Chain A
Amino acid sequence: MSDPTTTPGARPLLEIKNLEVGFQSSDGIIPAVRGVDLTLMAGQTLAIVGESGSGKSTTASAIINLLPGAGRITGGSILFDGKELTNYSTKQMEDIRGREIGYVPQDPMSNLNPVWSVGFQVEETIRANGIATGRKAVREHAIQVLREAGLQDADKRLKQFPHQFSGGMRQRVLIGIGLSSRPKLLIADEPTSALDVTVQRRILDHLETLTRDIGTAVLFITHDLGLAAERAEQLVVMYKGRIVEAGPSREILENPLHPYTQRLVAAAPSLASRRILSATQESATHSLSDLDYAPTTVTEGIDLIAAAEERVERERAGGAAPTRRPDAIVVNDLTKVYKIRGQGKGSAGEITAADHVSFAVEKGTTTAIVGESGSGKSTVAKMILKLEQPTSGQILIDGVDVAPLKGRSLLDLRRRLQPVFQDPYGSLNPLRNIGNTIAEPLLVHKAGDHASRRARVLELLDQVALPQSLITRYPNELSGGQRQRVAIARALALKPDIVVLDEAVSALDVLVQAQILKLLAELQSELELTYLFITHDLAVVRVIADNVCVMQKGRIVEAASTDEVFDHPQEQYTKELLNAIPGAGIALGV
């Protein structure tokens, strides 16, 4: 792949040719990266986009020769600044790592050693890379690194330990460490995936400024196409260990040619929400179908935009005759206070996880509760599910106060109200087969005999588009998305009216996420379900929700219809959240 945007004769900073990486296993070598070509010029930013298992992180770790365990480079060349890295010895690589190629890891929580102060770890890097020598010089340099990383009171912060830092601050430290020796190249492997969107935005802005000032080229690994396009000039899309499409970011977003890229573009919630936004802003009278967006180009993927359009159309059709349906969930002044053991003497602290929360969910609609970590959104969900006791306030389900419910009537409430949780790997009991898992609610509620239960399980598997043969299989044979389908089937077993989806799609790859969102939308219209959708991802909200409650620090700061919130946000916090949706900065020529 040649890059004509650069001046001829200029030597690329990083040139990967026909790179092959495999993992040694008992059945021979399993290829993970297959013939990857990649060129990065000095000072440029290039993003590798792909789903989990696409080989994007493996490619990055191959460059600095930090492949995990049984990974081996089996072919090709990595030319960095004129040096052939594949021939380098471990010792030689150590000189390159940190000094010439910086690395920012994915998880800020586990990448700082908790027993050493932050300062010690920064100083260690500085010393190891020979940036400064002498106690004083090293200390001064460390303070400068932290200051550059955007931490206030850098000299005091040096003495603190990682647990005294928030996730965002830790990632700043890691970025500071990565850039401390002014490397020519910085590899950032999903640097902000574990952080809240607003924090993500600030950190990436900061990273951009820093690298531009220093002139460091950035290799950015991400699963988020919107984020990649926003942050990098060049984009490389990987699929099953190969590059399927590469080129300038804008070009690829606007004109994706490979069917896989087209799938990704269609399924990325950030892009979909962006398209809807620009369409409605263009002209409120325009119908969404005026957009020259052609969903037919997508061969087999799931088209979130088309799904969202459908929803908006339906809403407008219904909007003509505003018949207000009864409320399925009403929450009044709900408050939850957790007592925590005091850290100092006598200071038995209290944390207000939910602070006078009130909202209502109309039957057959979807209400999203959006907030960042610690906003109290999951606490609200758990109280509604009666898995947590509220400190005060009232929850009405179909007009009935749930607080006094016990025994028989509580069981009856549970039948009508079912949850789907976030972690697909933790939501199914690994020792029970799929059939028993889905049948458990039926068994508990003594619904039907053995034969009718089995029939219902098979019917449910059909509904969530899973083969009936799964009935005797175990969860660890399934992917995350398939497990989430099983969890949905279990939730639907008792034919509930309300489903509480607590970050139900957050842990899934974009394509799978889109698939599950589509399934949820189909099930909603088919079974007239009411959804309470708990999420941190505003982009997803735009695509599926009718109404939105934005939560911050236990309070609902804004609640309105989705269109209202997105088009005319009232609160500063909501505006911040909206701006932080990755890809918000791209002016898409839709």
Chain B
Amino acid sequence: MSNNTPTRGPGHFVAPLEETPLVAVDAIKLDERKSNLWIDAWRDMRRRPMFWISAVIILLVIFVAFFPTLFTQVPPNDDCQLANSNGAPTGEHILGFTKQGCDIFSRIVHGTATSLSVGIIVTILTTVLGILFGAFAGFYGGWLDSVLSRAGDIFFSIPYILAAVVIMSVFSAYRNVFVISLAIGIFAWPATARVLRAEILRVKQSDYVMAAQAVGVSNFRILLRHVLPNSIAPVIVVTTISLGAAIVAEATLSFLGVGLPNSTMSWGNDISAAQVDLRTAPQTLIYPSLALSITVLAFIMMGEVIRDALDPKARAQR
């Protein structure tokens, strides 16, 4: 680098160039694999046993809900004999019998569809309402935000279980899966809306939103293309966890006697019917409760895994 021996003053130290070879300024170093938030999150998730455990349980539950007859040949209602009331397990009836003498395992298997449907319908409802309210309130702000947020606050201030009890009592003639889902969902969405609104308020400050405005992208398109995709991560976490909560809510309502009619098979109904015999025949209560707990736990665990994977701070600490 020097033509002549450069004059080096006293105490002037220069490292040999070989020690730290110069690299081009701002050289581009690309990983083999592409990377963005979702790709990274997926890579992170699939390394965790918790993800696989909860995924397998969730898939199993869904499978059972769609094809109950693959898991049990015993009809859940038609074959009930009072002679078997609260009976112990026998060869074909692996979990024993209910008070009515029906097969517990078969009832759990056939009740899966009901519980899961309530969970899914409630989740769809709360997510759609939550996204609509949260997105418009957060993105457009001003009076629209005031109106939507206050509306959300009103719904939020009423415990959704209480509200659902009231609704189900009023519409006692129309007790079915849709009505109960509606009753739960209509008061459960403000949580989603709040989470999304807060995230949108943060994201809409980004320079890329301003850059898009400066290009002339319409507001609605900015919301759809830039703001929503970058704000949706916490909503997914909330949604996954609330799916579990909705299943619990259905069980709670059925347990209280304002849920689904007794003729509809659901875990909640079975738990409700079993309470009188808790001391004499605990299995009638334990098995449907276990099915409920494991399912709900799987959804909550999945939510936690997704949250960890999407939160870069949590990831940096590992």
B-facing residues in A462-509 (Cβ within 8 Å):
466-467, 469-470, 472-479, 481-482, 487, 490-491, 494
A-facing residues in B190-226 (Cβ within 8 Å):
206-208, 210-217, 225-226
Complex contact B12–A246 (CB within 8 A): yes
Residue in B11, B211, B225, B317 whose CB lies within 8 Å of A247: B11
B170 close to A (CB within 8 Å):
no
A258 close to B (CB within 8 Å):
yes
Chain B window 29-62, contacts with chain A (Cβ cutoff 8 Å), 1 for yes, 0 for no:
0110011111100000000000000000000000
* B23 → chain A closest CB, angstroms: 8
* A252 → chain B closest CB, angstroms: 7
Q: Which residues of B contact A423 (CB under 8 A)?
A: 207
Count residues of B near A (Cβ-Cβ below 8 Å). Answer: 46
Residue in B26, B36, B208 whose CB lies within 8 Å of A426: B208
A390 close to B (CB within 8 Å):
no
B13 close to A (CB within 8 Å):
yes
Residue in A240, A422, A444 whose CB lies within 8 Å of B215: A444
Complex contact A410–B11 (CB within 8 A): no
Complex contact B30–A431 (CB within 8 A): no
* B209 → chain A closest CB, angstroms: 8
Closest residue of chain A to B21, judged by CB? A240
Closest residue of chain B to A467, judged by CB? B28
Residue in A299, A301, A414 whose CB lies within 8 Å of B214: A414
* A517 → chain B closest CB, angstroms: 12
Given contacts A251-B12, A260-B22, A481-B26, contact A473 B34 (CB under 8 A): yes
Chain B window 150-180, contacts with chain A (Cβ cutoff 8 Å), 1 for yes, 0 for no:
0000000000000000000000000000000
Residue in A248, A258, A494 whose CB lies within 8 Å of B15: A258
Complex CA distance for A295 and B15, rounded to whole angstroms? 22
B7 close to A (CB within 8 Å):
yes
Q: Which residues of A contact B215 (CB under 8 A)?
A: 414, 418, 440-441, 444-445, 490, 494
B263 close to A (CB within 8 Å):
no
Residue in B9, B14, B36 whose CB lies within 8 Å of A430: B36
B70 close to A (CB within 8 Å):
no
* B78 → chain A closest CB, angstroms: 53
Complex contact A478–B36 (CB within 8 A): no
Q: Which residues of A contact B1 (CB under 8 A)?
A: 257, 259, 262, 297, 299
Complex contact A248–B214 (CB within 8 A): no
B6 close to A (CB within 8 Å):
yes
Complex contact A477–B35 (CB within 8 A): yes
Complex CA distance for A512 and B22, rounded to whole angstroms? 14
Complex contact A419–B22 (CB within 8 A): no
Count residues of A near B (Cβ-Cβ below 8 Å). Answer: 76
B279 close to A (CB within 8 Å):
no
Residue in B14, B22, B210, B230 whose CB lies within 8 Å of A257: B14
Closest residue of chain B to A414, judged by CB? B216
Complex CA distance for A478 and B35, rounded to whole angstroms? 10
Q: Which residues of A contact B280 (CB under 8 A)?
A: none
Q: Which residues of B contact A411 (CB under 8 A)?
A: 216
* A376 → chain B closest CB, angstroms: 17
Chain A window 122-139, contacts with chain B (Cβ cutoff 8 Å), 1 for yes, 0 for no:
000000000000000000
Complex CA distance for A255 and B1, rounded to whole angstroms? 13
* A339 → chain B closest CB, angstroms: 14
Complex CA distance for A69 and B318, rounded to whole angstroms? 10
* B199 → chain A closest CB, angstroms: 13
Complex CA distance for A417 and B207, rounded to whole angstroms? 16
Complex CA distance for A299 and B2, rounded to whole angstroms? 11
Complex contact B230–A444 (CB within 8 A): no
A347 close to B (CB within 8 Å):
no
Closest residue of chain B to A240, judged by CB? B20
Q: Which residues of A contact B206 (CB under 8 A)?
A: 426-427, 429
Complex CA distance for A243 and B213, rounded to whole angstroms? 45
Complex CA distance for A457 and B31, rounded to whole angstroms? 22
* A484 → chain B closest CB, angstroms: 10
Complex CA distance for A487 and B229, rounded to whole angstroms? 20
Residue in B11, B12, B15, B25 whose CB lies within 8 Å of A242: B15
Q: Which residues of B contact A242 (CB under 8 A)?
A: 15, 19-20
Given contacts A242-B19, A248-B12, A252-B12, contact A430 B213 (CB under 8 A): no
* B133 → chain A closest CB, angstroms: 23
Q: Which residues of A contact B37 (CB under 8 A)?
A: 430-431, 476
Complex CA distance for A26 and B26, rounded to whole angstroms? 26
Q: Which residues of B contact A243 (CB under 8 A)?
A: 13, 15
Given contacts A240-B20, A431-B229, contact A410 B25 (CB under 8 A): no
Residue in A255, A262, A477, A494 whose CB lies within 8 Å of B31: A477
Q: Which residues of A contact B11 (CB under 8 A)?
A: 1-5, 234, 246-248
Complex CA distance for A414 and B216, rounded to whole angstroms? 6
The CB with the most chain A CB atoms within 10 A, among B9, B12, B35, B215, is that of: B215
Complex contact A247–B214 (CB within 8 A): no
Complex contact B36–A258 (CB within 8 A): no
Q: Which residues of A contact B38 (CB under 8 A)?
A: 431
Q: Which residues of A contact B9 (CB under 8 A)?
A: 247-248, 251, 255
* B114 → chain A closest CB, angstroms: 37
Complex contact B35–A511 (CB within 8 A): no
A231 close to B (CB within 8 Å):
no
A-B contact list, 8 entries, CB within 8 Å: A259-B17, A415-B216, A426-B206, A427-B211, A469-B30, A477-B34, A482-B26, A487-B211
Given contacts A4-B10, A248-B9, 11 further A-B contacts (CB under 8 A): A1-B13, A240-B23, A245-B14, A262-B1, A387-B210, A410-B216, A415-B216, A423-B207, A433-B36, A440-B215, A490-B215
Residues of A within 8 A of B (CB): 1-5, 26, 69, 234, 239-240, 242-248, 251-252, 255, 257-260, 262-263, 297, 299-302, 385, 387, 410-411, 414-415, 417-419, 421-423, 426-433, 440-441, 444-445, 466-467, 469-470, 472-479, 481-482, 487, 490-491, 494, 511-512, 515
Question: Which 4 A-B pairs give the minimum distances between C-beta atoms?
Answer: A247-B12, A474-B36, A427-B207, A414-B216
Residues of B within 8 A of A (CB): 1-2, 6-15, 17, 19-20, 22-26, 28, 30-31, 34-39, 206-208, 210-217, 225-226, 229-230, 317-318
